[in-house]
Amino acid sequence: MMVAGIGSRKGVSVEEVLAAIETALEAHGLAMTALSALATAPLKKDEAAISAAGRALNLPVVIADEQVLRLASPGARSRCDLSQSRAGTPSVSEASALAVAGAGARLLGPRTVLGPVTCAIAISGDAP
């Protein structure tokens, strides 16, 4: 399972979210078709552009469970004080991707920042 974790400022556009996902995937030599799901934190559950990106890509958008998100947070490579204070994790995109990809998941690299959107790619622990 490969998951794109998404973090963003409020009010971003679906185009900005899709561009961040594409940029993150390209950084790892991957195509959009490699993704199994999008993920984000409970703080972003009502962000329309993230839901719209899931619909555009025909992928589920999974809201990471608060407790699992906190447990995944030590695996984050990036640190953002604003994310820590608002979402309780040093990186919404990285922790969300790890949380949804499951036990043993790993990030392919640090989050990609594209304007007001961050995207991190995680792969499940059962993948080669």
Comparing 47 with 89, which gets the higher pLDDT?
A: 47
pTM for the full predicted model:
0.91
The CA-CA-CA angle for residues 85, 120, 74, to 5°, reads 50
- pLDDT tens-digit series, residues 29-72: 999 999 999 999 999 999 999 999 999 999 999 999 988 888 88
Instruction: Please give the Cα distance from 121 to 128 (Å, whole number).
Output: 15
Of 6-20, 43-57, 87-101, which gets the smallest average pLDDT? 87-101
Set out the domains of the chain in order of their start, with CATH numbers: 2-123 (3.30.420.180)
Confidence (pLDDT) at 120:
96
